[in-house]
Amino acid sequence: MGEHQGKRSGAGGPVGHPATQPMGYSEAGRWRPRQALRLALAVFVAKLVRWLTRVLNRGHGGTSLPGRIVLSLAPDAILLWMQQLRRGVVVVTGTNGKTSTANLIRLFLRRQGYRVVANASGANLLGGVATALALATDPWGRLRSADYAVIEADERISERIVAAAGVKARALVVTNILRDQLDRLAEPELVRQAIGRAASRLPATARLLLNADDPGVVQLATSNLADSPVSSDSSDRRAPSSATTVFYGLGEVTTDRPGATAGLPRAEAAMPGGEAASVDTEVRDSETCPACGSQLSFALRFYSHLGFYECPVCGWRRPEPAWTADATLVRCEPGDDPGWAVAVHVPDHTEPVRGVLPGEAAATASASLPDSVRVKLAAAGVHQLYNLLAAVATVAELTGRLPLQAGEIIRPQVFGRMEKVALGAEWGHRELVLALTKNPTGANQNLRTLAGDQRVRSVMFVLNDLAADGRDISWIWDVDWSPVVARTDWTLVATGRRAAEAALCWHYAGVATERIQVQPSLETAMRTAVESIPPGSRCLALATYTGLLQFRHLLATRHWVSWYWEQDDQTDPEQDSGLLSPLTSM
């Protein structure tokens, strides 16, 4: 995970301040053959390394190492490639939901006929971004005819990616800001400041899309919160973003299935104006008013600190979102898992993001957009609604066209994000559900979504503490393990470098010792968790980042799943890389 950082030069650094000339060009804008050959050599070496890692089955499919090689030989390669895009760059950042949201944006843009390059595998540091772009280049290192780059960016590098895009930056999408990897990212406040600096670099033609339900994200719309009584950090004194701010947020979330709980707000399911009970076991990272420091009052929480909030002292409150969605938990088709019947409400403006570069064709606005569109999302969990709404809002703001068609069923299939893997007849038609789990809020959502699924009969937790996972694993003690305690029919298996701590955490949460098994071998752990349940049942596999990669490597070698890095190799608008199954009529 160690990415090439490069030396910062002035305000931007070689990764791409807009004023810096890209690799291969002189100050007069003329092509410099020597630098061009250097970039071509870097790309050749990177593609060779990528090919070797996959042929020799080493590393993680070459999703980051090739890009680090490129940046060591051509530090401004990212800037050069981004300036070659026909339309521009979309940057997606935040704590949870980046990969799912970015992949939905990529698919929706392709459905509208655009050619898109993206780091779809989720490698979101500089090496991963450079790798994805390098794979789309011709033998001379020039980016093929791509319209957009959809870049999932780690919070720490979001500013550098936006700076590299310069006037080509079209949108910055912020999903949420939660506690995550404290040893690497520190407190959520510092994450917010890093993203705020990225927002301040957006050009006036761009969109800043913010989750209105997250108070920490909404603060990004304030130009200088360091002047408020509750902030004295001068590092957050930044120029206000010149981009157009667009808020998105959820509306009414209900169920048509009596007794259903999967993915619904647990205790605070009342709508605004109703009684809302407190959930003491829920981790909340942003509950104080940024203007006066008072405790925020929540009329509704969807999960963690995301919901409808207001300061009872100074009146600071959730902004009215332009893009909203109402949802009802249903079964999308007979025999399906629970999903959402979603009504996406469209704002009355239809003006798309316009091009500003000489010779660039601006997006053409539609004559009109519908007031709302109704679709079904075949994925439970409130977080899935946020991913869909953010993607729809982003693409519509970019192009002036709604990427959804009324009556569609959308089936997300992003690797490791509640990904379902059928093990086949030889394993009794059992099924694995792979869920990336890297912070308490994500773990709570994964457990809550499947707590009511009677087919889930075992849980395995792959807990690692490598650099990519975060060395600090103390977050596991903040997870609400009550669904695990309550489901006494679940077999529990812990594996990974810190399996013993996972087992101890379960024990102190109230799980009976005889239910817990610790297996040092990942393959043995999988076999134990799967073979202990009846045929036709499910095993929920929670895994930190490197644990997920190891798990999918094990499954891919048995041809049960495709290699996750194959998604990075696609730029054709007709190829979805398995992100979504074909959208079908209801």
CATH number at residue 507: 3.90.190.20
Instruction: Provide the pLDDT for residue 199.
Output: 94
Per-residue model confidence as pLDDT tens digits over 520-539:
999 999 989 998 888 888 99
For residue 571, tell me if it sits in a domain.
no
For residue 585, tell me if it sits in a domain.
no
Residue 238 has pLDDT above 80, yes or no: no
Q: What is the pTM of this model?
A: 0.83
Instruction: Provide the pLDDT for residue 334.
Output: 64
Q: How far apart are CA 192 and CA 238, in angstroms?
A: 12
269 shares a domain with 219: no
Is residue 430 within 8 A of residue 268, CB to CB? The reply is no
pLDDT band per the 50, 70, 90 thresholds, residue 182 = low
Instruction: Write the CATH number for 125.
Output: 3.40.1190
Token pair 């990969």 is at which residue? 99
* Whole-Å CA distances, 545 to 25, 62, 99, 538, 542: 39, 16, 13, 21, 10
Compute the residue count for the chain: 586
User: Which residue, 198, 226, 246, sits at the end of a domain?
Assistant: 246
Average pLDDT score over residue span 162-187 = 85
Q: Which two tokens stand for residue 62?
A: 């070459």
281 shares a domain with 132: no
For residue 316, tell me if it sits in a domain.
yes
Average pLDDT score over residue span 372-401 = 92
Q: Which two tokens stand for residue 217?
A: 């994200």
Q: What share of the chain is helix, strand, coil (3-state, %, to 5)?
A: 35, 20, 45
Residue 179 has pLDDT above 70, yes or no: yes
Residue 25 has pLDDT above 90, yes or no: no
Q: Of the candidates 60, 36, 32, 55, which has an alpha carbon nearest to the alpha carbon of residue 128?
A: 60
423 shares a domain with 404: no
Domain count, the chain: 3
- Extended beta strands in 94-237, E state: 116-118, 148-152, 169-174, 207-211
Average pLDDT score over residue span 278-295 = 75
Pairing of strands 491-495, 516-518: parallel
pLDDT band per the 50, 70, 90 thresholds, residue 34 = low
Q: How far apart are CA 288 and CA 295, in angstroms?
A: 5
Q: What is the mean pLDDT of the chain?
A: 79
Enclosing domain of residue 553: 417-563
Element (DSSP H or E) covering residue 301: strand 297-303
Per-residue model confidence as pLDDT tens digits over 460-510:
999 999 988 888 899 999 899 998 998 888 899 999 999 999 999 999 999
Other CB atoms within a 10 A radius of the CB of residue 295 amount to 11
For residue 547, tell me if it sits in a domain.
yes
151 shares a domain with 53: yes
For residue 583, tell me if it sits in a domain.
no
Q: What DSSP character marks residue 317?
A: B
435 shares a domain with 401: no
403 shares a domain with 424: no
Say how many CA atoms lie within 13 Å of 390 toward its Cβ: 33
Per-residue model confidence as pLDDT tens digits over 331-380:
776 667 788 899 999 998 656 665 444 444 444 444 467 889 999 998 88
Per-residue model confidence as pLDDT tens digits over 109-132:
999 999 999 998 778 888 889 898
Average pLDDT score over residue span 540-558 = 87
For residue 1, tell me if it sits in a domain.
no
For residue 157, tell me if it sits in a domain.
yes
194 shares a domain with 53: yes
Of all residues in the chain, the percent with pLDDT exceeding 90 is 35
Instruction: Provide the pLDDT for residue 574.
Output: 42
User: Which residue, 198, 227, 246, sits at the end of a domain?
Assistant: 246
507 shares a domain with 398: no
Instruction: Provide the pLDDT for residue 51.
Output: 80
User: Which residue, 410, 427, 443, sits at the end of a domain?
Assistant: 410
For residue 569, tell me if it sits in a domain.
no
Beta bridge partners of 171: 90, 207
Residue 91 has pLDDT above 90, yes or no: yes
Per-residue model confidence as pLDDT tens digits over 5-16:
333 333 333 343
371 shares a domain with 432: no
259 shares a domain with 173: no
Residue 283 has pLDDT above 80, yes or no: no
pLDDT band per the 50, 70, 90 thresholds, residue 251 = very high
Q: Collapsing DSSP states into helix, strand and coil, what is residue 527?
A: helix
Residues 6+ apart with CB under 8 A from 480: 281, 282, 283, 440, 444, 447
338 shares a domain with 202: no
Q: Collapsing DSSP states into helix, strand and coil, what is residue 111?
A: helix
Q: Of the candidates 133, 79, 174, which has an alpha carbon nearest to the alpha carbon of residue 394?
A: 174
Q: How far apart are CA 87 and CA 146, in angstroms?
A: 8
Is residue 171 within 8 A of residue 392, CB to CB? The reply is no
Q: Is the dihedral of CA 137, 140, 142, 145 positive or negative?
A: negative
Q: Which two tokens stand for residue 195?
A: 């993203």
Instruction: Provide the pLDDT for residue 388.
Output: 96
Q: How far apart are CA 148 and CA 127, in angstroms?
A: 19
Is residue 337 within 8 A of residue 378, CB to CB? The reply is yes
399 shares a domain with 435: no
